[in-house]
Amino acid sequence: MKVTIDKNSGFCWGVVRTVDIAEEVMRESPELYSLGSIIHNPMEINRLKEKGLETITHNDFEKLSGKKVLIRAHGEPPSTYALARKHGIELIDATCPVVTKVQERIRKFYDKGYQVVVFGKKDHAEVIGLVGHTNNEAIVIKSAEETSKVDFTRKTVLFSQTTMDKPTFYEIARVLKEKIQAEFEVGTFEESALDFHAKDTICGQVSGRDKKLREYAAQNDVMIFVAGRNSSNGKVLYEICREANPNTFFIEDESELKREWFEGKESVGISGATSTPQWLMEKVRSAIESLSQP
């Protein structure tokens, strides 16, 4: 049985950068705190914990005066930086530059009086950070059906969480534009209400994987998708993988593999989220090869 690993899978450069920053800081000082899980992968979190990285919440700030706290790739709202200053905490900002750029763009539109709409998951760390740049006034939606939350009489801009899917983003943009136009035609609103912008801020490294992942999944008899169950990006990519190959199984680590998945199969493909480390996928490959031994 041939077992391969998708060459396009694994850490995106933003996650690589965040992990590199954490490890560099810990080489000089073993005491480092991460505000929230550094990435959505429990295996990698455990590896970094052994090096000295401890996961905390905002509630722990009051007892960390003088300590170093890492801002993970997802980013944080301005209120977090203010809270850190209040408690004398040194922040190590490892926000993904792609996310930082989205935060800056959202802030510019908000300051110009635009109603900001974010396509994303309301409780996701990145979205909380994005919304924080609008004084928590941005409207978060995850489908075209939820566009009813939007005030169609205001000039509006649509952004996206960086790990969402493009087709849904463009469907939401289309629906918003149509509803704004319809509201204008039947109402007495100023023409400025027609000022609508859709800013596709989905990370290219995430969206660009769709086609390649479908092709890779279709080439194998069985697909094993490795990711943390809390990974937003992992859930999206897993569904893409499963659409292309119904024999796709989601696991967090090699302990969840089942021998019957591979019986009578000739090829197995392994892929993962942008938060899935290469070493973990290699470990899964070795475990599958052991399972296939007579």
Q: What are the residue numbers of the active site?
A: 126
Report the distance separating Cα 245 and Cα 85, nearest Å.
50
Rounded to 5 degrees, φ, ψ at 100 are -55, -40
Pairing of strands 196-198, 156-160: parallel
Both tokens of 225, joined, read 């998708």
Cα separations in angstroms, 235 against 29, 110, 179, 202, 250: 35, 30, 30, 15, 9
Q: What is the DSSP string of 71-125?
A: E-TT---HHHHHHHHHTT-EEEE---HHHHHHHHHHHHHHHTTPEEEEES-TTSH
Instruction: Judge residue 186's burial from the number of C-beta atoms within 10 Å of its C-beta, 0-12 exposed, 13-18 middle, 19 or more buried.
Output: exposed
- The contacts of residue 169 (CB under 8 Å, 6+ apart) are 119, 158, 160, 198, 200, 202
- Position of tokens 């967090």? 252
Report the distance separating Cα 229 and Cα 84, nearest Å.
30
